Chain A
Amino acid sequence: MIATSHILTQLTNRLQSGPFSIGQISVTPASDGRVELRHQDDGGRPGGELESFTDPCAARGIAQYDAEGEYRPLKGSPNLKAGWRLDLAGPEEVRIALDIFYPAALAVWAADCGGRLRVVPLSQTLERQTGMYRYARTISPEGARELTRRQCLTGCSRRPIWSELPVHEMGTSGDALPLLCPEACSFFVAEARLVAKAEFEAKATAAPGPAA
């Protein structure tokens, strides 16, 4: 049952030890048990200047589109819009909001803390793809590293701990609640397929077959 949830216990403990950040969000517990979430770019702004919500599900409206009105299918994209604050009743509501802002992040973090997180290497993820995504497995190691830098390190707030990139490239989380990515996501796989195709076409152009 929810009351005995490891995830919630873990989150409650983290809230008791003071403010922290997760992705682009600052989480600030107050002495009365309420918790405020806001965009880290709004750090110094008076609360009155921000659009305020008390319903944790308001996160859905905030996270759906970026500041330009573009849809955000990848919630880890570092383009969460600013200008809002969530004034929440406690850990349960914080969990609901964070599950919307960064789906599964708390669950993955709790699994990691409990030593239950299974990190899946890219080769395994690509190997099991079928249909049009089968082709993604032919991506070169260098192509995969480049894509990881572009798609994950630059284009996502999560840390791709499944990748072979050196730890120093991935950065550390400091006082942040880590956004761990244990397995390449479907966006990555879709991109990997495109890179693999481009690699194949480049090779075909560079080394044309025997003249007819």
Chain B
Amino acid sequence: MNDLARLADSALLLLGHGSTENPDSSAPTLAHADEIRRRGIFAEVQCAFWKEEPGFSISDYLFESETIYAVPNFISEGYFTREVIPRELGLEGPSTRRNGKVIHYCDPVGIHTSMTRLLAGRARELAPDIPVQETALIIVGHGTGLNAKSTEAIRVQVDRLEALGLGYGQILDAYMEEAPFIADWDQLTPLPNVLVVPFFIADGLHSYQDIPVLLGIESAPTAAASQRDVFRQNPVHLRGRSLWYSRSIGTDPSLVDVILDQVHDFQSAAAAA
């Protein structure tokens, strides 16, 4: 692929939120960067974070390549992708030229069309042998007024999953803090099998503790040591149904391909312009 050949002289900058509380937030971003580095596609691969080091604003120094593709590892457009990152990176538009370098600012991973296939793949892996027509697939997000775009991103994914014609009895969106509430999952569908995939970039308190409590898998937030066990109990028989609960979609190793797709899309759009 010509596009890939050209990337060999370029750098990839993956931008993540990070956390001052725990390493889970940045872990998938670091892991995806490691994998892309391992594949040798780019001359350089680095990460920068809002709440960890290196910070967004000093990411300029990290690269020696002249062409840098910056990909926000965020689930949707919003405050971070539209305001914080452009400001901290000193971006002037889709491509910013300065000091002999050019930074191409790609769309966040969460809004790429290939996220839909990732969700479909995750759902299939979660419960490969169940009859899909008797199964509801629920994509769950946070859902508050804080970032209406993340709710919109999930609705778009649900529509696209429907359009794939996967055969699921129902494909639904649900939220932690707004209707339709994930806590009412058994009211949202009459089907006997329910798959729940959190639409987050990383696992963390929401996927380890809050959503399991809302689903009823856990009665109270679990201790840190057993957090990952919450994904190992599938299926859970609850409220008269069989429930499968997935890790956050952003932890899927195939997210690497979505990141690369965003870079390719940027290249195609630039070539077309």
Contact = CB atoms under 8 A, between A and B. Distances in A.
B87 A2 contact: no
A183 interface: yes
A60 interface: yes
A203 interface: no
Nearest to B59: A104
B62 A71 contact: no
Given A71-B22, A73-B52, A111-B61, A60 B30 contact: yes
A120 B57 CA distance: 10
Given A186-B50, A186-B55, A108 B61 contact: yes
A108 B58 contact: yes
A196 interface: no
B23 A104 contact: no
Given A71-B22, A73-B18, A57 B34 contact: yes
Nearest to A74: B53
B210 interface: no
A73 B58 contact: no
Interface residues of B, number: 29
A185 B22 CA distance: 18
B79 A104 contact: no
A137 to B, nearest CB: 14
Nearest to B21: A71
B229 interface: no
Contacts of A40: none
Interface stretch (A3-11, A83-91, A167-175): A3-11
B19 interface: yes
A4 B9 CA distance: 12
A130 B53 contact: no
A148 to B, nearest CB: 17
Interface string A186-205: 11001000000000000000
Contact of A73 (B20, B54, B64, B65): B20
Interface residues of A, number: 33
Interface string B215-227: 0000000000000
B169 to A, nearest CB: 42
B55 A185 contact: yes
A110 B61 CA distance: 9
B43 interface: yes
Nearest to A185: B55
B21 to A, nearest CB: 7
B64 A7 contact: yes
A45 interface: no
Given A76-B53, A186-B50, A186-B55, A130 B20 contact: no
Contacts of A182: 58
Contact of B61 (A5, A73, A107): A107
A104 B30 contact: no
A183 B23 contact: no
Given A1-B9, A2-B43, A7-B64, A75 B87 contact: no
B129 interface: no
Contact of A2 (B30, B44, B99): B44
Contact of A130 (B21, B23, B51, B84): B84
B53 A128 contact: no
Contacts of B61: 104, 107-108, 110-111, 116-117
Interface string A131-158: 1000000000000000000000000000
Given A1-B43, A7-B64, A57-B34, A75 B53 contact: yes
Nearest to B84: A130
B30 A130 contact: no
Interface string B33-45: 0100000000110
A103 interface: yes
B83 interface: yes
Interface of B: 9, 18-23, 30, 34, 43-44, 50-55, 57-59, 61-62, 64-65, 79, 83-84, 87, 99
Given A73-B19, A120-B57, 6 more contacts: A7-B64, A73-B20, A73-B21, A103-B52, A110-B61, A183-B58
